[in-house]
Amino acid sequence: MSQSIAAHPDRLLPADPGTRSIARSLLERVQDLPIISPHGHVDAAVIEQNTPFPDPAALLVSPDHYVTRLIHANGVPMDQLLAGTASAPESREIWRQFVEAWPLFEGTASGYWLRTQFDDVFKLGADLSDMPADASYDAIAAKLVEPDFRPRQLFKDFNIEVLATTDDPLDSLASHKALTEDPSFNGRVLPTFRPDAYLNVAHPSWSANVDRLIETAADGATGYAGYIAALENRRCYFVEHGAVSADHGVRTPATLKLDPAEAEALFEKARSGKATAVDRDAFEAHMMYQMARMSVQDGLVMTIHPGSYRNHHGPTFESFGADTGHDIPFAVNYTEAIRPLLQDFGTAKDFHLVLFTLDETVFSRELAPLAGFYPSVYIGAPWWFLDAPDAMLRFRSAVTETAGFSRSSGFIDDTRAFCSIPARHDASRRIEASFLARLVAEHRVTEDRAHELILDVVDSSPRRVFKL
């Protein structure tokens, strides 16, 4: 069997030998730095309880919409890929479907991360295509039952220093508290306030969520005033439990400043079930303005993730639910949409606003110019469909000439797949080394300065932007 290309030391580095040599030196500078992961979706309870990982298919195939969507696009029904569905085959058969489809992932970011995991984490020692499906399944399954192959040990082995989770505003944060108080655990697992289901009137559980929020956290206040007070109180609870940011997964980055009477009227209209689509959008835009106001008040970094048409295929959503591979990006407008927020808070002291996009045309056209003027604005790293090698290079090229290196967030892995975290961060570090090496080779940056810049981009930027 041939050695996996994931073991090649020059993967993702420039093809030109001279530039590659510079990139190697830059990569060496940051390759062993601890991982700072200020935005992701790993469940804190998995780490707190040191939960064993499930079988190979349930760990690496079924929950990964990057994987299932491409196999589905090539003709495999979704119910043959998702463990736990009524008609799902047994785990080994799902794995066989995945291995048969493995050639489809050549050139994709998910293929790169998976190949790196198979080599670095699971120690397969060969490419998946060179092994019988049952052999790779058995090798990974054997790894999963090893006593040391548990989340806490891997947290240490992966050299993770900070890992942020994404949490419901009414979460007790008991697992975060337990990890903080556990003397045997040395990492930082930070909660993140994620209020989407309480701000978006179109969410099917919005009204019930608001009832619970006001009942739990409004200190006796009711109506719109109680709603605002409850959100403020829960944010404070998150800060007390170590949170550094509040994340907002919105359809668009629209913001709107309403006077209290207008906002209350929209709130009551929504509560009565009479809000139109225009009303719902206006209320959510107003609440994004309110979230910025609260961030100025309580210090939480505000991150915005817009531009995804969620659950694009209705029949798949009805059968299998959300996050099953059919969220599709669309174009966004930041310059006008975010202006009401920035008028009042764009120069507010210590306010940090990190703007992400799935529409890479806005990187150079809107985000870099915004971050190049407003002290509060930082450019979020390439996210979701853009967290891929070529797209990350395009990002660096698009934003750096206007905003430099200091106005970006540092890498964000944004993943539920715990075992992929080191692969994703390694890919980012190689891309940063490659981009900077080109600038050195073109005599646009000195090599000494490039070494300083890559340390800042990989390590200092996420600490600075997320107030770590």
So what's the pLDDT on residue 3? 66
Q: Span 321-349, mean pLDDT? A: 96
Tell me the percentage of the chain whose pLDDT exceeds 70.
Answer: 99
Per-residue pLDDT band at 2 (split at 50, 70, 90):
low
Say whether pLDDT at 302 is over 60: yes
Name the 3-class secondary structure at 37. Answer: strand
Span 104-117, pLDDT tens digits: 999 999 999 999 99
So what's the pLDDT on residue 5? 86
* pTM summary value: 0.96
Closest of 304, 297, 55 to residue 196, by C-alpha: 304
User: What's the Rg (C-alpha) of the chain?
Assistant: 23
- Per-residue DSSP letter, 303: E
d(CA 48, CA 177): 9
So what's the pLDDT on residue 339? 98
Span 396-427, pLDDT tens digits: 999 999 999 999 999 999 999 999 999 999 99
For residue 186, give both structure tokens: 């040395």
For residue 160, give both structure tokens: 């993770």
Span 192-244, pLDDT tens digits: 999 999 999 999 999 999 999 999 999 999 999 999 999 999 999 999 999 99
So what's the pLDDT on residue 86? 74
Which residue type sits at 67?
V
Q: Span 374-387, mean pLDDT? A: 96
d(CA 138, CA 391): 35
So what's the pLDDT on residue 83? 84
Say whether pLDDT at 66 is over 70: yes
**Exposure letters 52-64 (e unless 16+ CB within 10 A, then b):** ebebbbbbbbbbb
Span 7-65, pLDDT tens digits: 899 999 999 999 999 999 999 999 999 999 999 999 999 999 999 999 999 999 999 99
d(CA 257, CA 343): 10
Q: Mean pLDDT of all residues in the chain?
A: 96
Q: Span 312-319, mean pLDDT? A: 94
Pairing of strands 245-248, 160-164: unpaired
Closest of 305, 433, 424, 427 to residue 37, by C-alpha: 424
- Helical spans, DSSP H, in 299-388: 314-320, 339-345, 361-362, 368-371
d(CA 410, CA 363): 15
Other CB atoms within a 10 A radius of the CB of residue 409 amount to 25
For residue 203, give both structure tokens: 């969410």
d(CA 140, CA 160): 22
Residue 359 in contact with residue 332, Cβ under 8 Å?
yes
* C-alpha distances in Å from residue 45, one per residue of 37, 54, 166: 17, 15, 12
